[in-house]
Structure 1
């Protein structure tokens, strides 16, 4: 690789880290050319060096955003790590329901939601048990730093390949309908979830509000210092007795002082003793209210 190529790669890597906190580690360098090929073609650029030169010019915000989004790993599928969703359905949601019996309201945040499969999977857990959740208000928010995947999640359109990853036939028929390009989430399912663009390293959408936060396979791309910052943001998003669900290869152990495992090996984590109080989190301010869906009568 020439010095010019290394400099161009450094500019792209710096842009990704500045916008998302993600490091372009050595094991991800091989896919940069492939990931950016579409951006180069759309902008009539011949090389990474040409792209870096264009990014250095004024008023290139839109191009910079396209570069960042092209480099992000948007791998996701329905009910990813099914054992975790079984635990969520069989143990965690009943526990949270018991804690919220007085208000009959649950707020859930899917961080790094990509094209929405995780958030829709959570919504299906509720929709499959309409009698159990009748009279409850369930708030589900999915966020991602990439505008393009957030827009796709809102539409709820999935290819045949996407719809078959993690969904059983009964779920596919119950919650999706065939469309011109594949399958689309039915309106009642789409209404259960709100999608917004948001960076995890920014102030949470509703500090101190969320009973459950899912942040899975996102922290893997951060260095230690950035991961610690992310854990602080996640902790300030949680209600005092809320729970954080991490990916199979992620943990709070040895990574942060504000969160600890709920139980050994469970994949769920809670605020540590001495973490910021709800009053301190509330001082950060509350954002706009989420879209609310009462499941009374859901089929």
Structure 2
């Protein structure tokens, strides 16, 4: 690959998606973009980049989606979902008892396994959430993965990754070789196309934000900017859930970690004493 083409793609993807590509990632570009190039009639990356430079919208979208990692599976990493049930939900049930309403945002929701996992978790609580209004918003940069998320159809391999068998039997229907999630669960989640690098205040305020395994692809400045904008969208006593390899420490002062809760953060001014007692109980 020509150095000029690598530099163009690295700059384009950084501006478009926040993805930081170092020179040792040329193999990644070639493995993901050569099929795109050939599907569009180009022999190599040089031809693809040449067609991208004038700003061919459809081609720019294809390249962005091909380079964006969309790895996801049900109840991924388990701990965040345990914290959701043990710490987050009890707090919301207590603090929102007057309005009986809360909102959850799953940023970088990919093909929907994370928001659907949360929806199933809440469905399993039954009477505790009776007469409550729960809203789950899933967003992603990729229109393709959002189409899949809205369909709620998964392969045998996908439902075997992290999904307990009892939930598969209870909330999915087998159709041919695939599994389709029940309309009840699907209706609990709304999906929207959204780029975390762009303005997202129109989404409104949330009580919980899951933003897992996406910040690791950003540089420090971009991480700080995204986190500080998320802080503006979060309730004063809300929660931010990050991936196991992510942190706010040394990046922003808008959040602080919740002791005893790996990957769980709260606004800097939040009173955490009661929450930390719940976490160790």
TM-score normalised by L of structure 1: 0.86
Question: Out of 9, 21, 46, which is 2:6 matched to?
Answer: 9
- Cα distance in 2, alignment partners of residues 206 and 106 from structure 1: 17
For structure 2, which runs of at least 5 residues remain unmatched after alignment?
271-281
Contact kept, 8 Å, 2:205 with 2:234, in 1: the verdict is yes
More helix as a share of residues: 2
SS at match of 2:126: coil
Question: Out of 79, 86, 101, which is 1:90 matched to?
Answer: 86
Is 2:119 the counterpart of 1:123? yes
Contact kept, 8 Å, 1:248 with 1:267, in 2: the verdict is yes
- Cα distance in 1, alignment partners of residues 193 and 154 from structure 2: 20
Is 2:176 the counterpart of 1:180? yes
- Cα distance in 2, alignment partners of residues 155 and 36 from structure 1: 26
Please name the residue that 2:209 is paired with.
213
Please name the residue that 2:34 is paired with.
37
Residue 168 of structure 1 deviates from its aligned partner by 1.3
1:8-27 correspondence runs (5 A): 8-26=5-23
Please name the residue that 2:273 is paired with.
none
Residue 206 of structure 1 deviates from its aligned partner by 4.4
CA RMSD, 1 decimal: 1.6
Change (3 A) 1:49 1:112: same
SS at match of 1:132: helix
Change (3 A) 1:193 1:205: farther
Residue 100 of structure 1 deviates from its aligned partner by 0.6
Question: Out of 162, 165, 168, which is 1:166 matched to?
Answer: 162
Runs of 4+ with deviation above 2 angstroms: 25-30, 201-208, 262-266
SS at match of 2:13: helix
- Cα distance in 2, alignment partners of residues 9 and 97 from structure 1: 50
Matched residues, number: 270
Question: Out of 241, 244, 266, which is 2:240 matched to?
Answer: 244
- Cα distance in 2, alignment partners of residues 44 and 144 from structure 1: 28
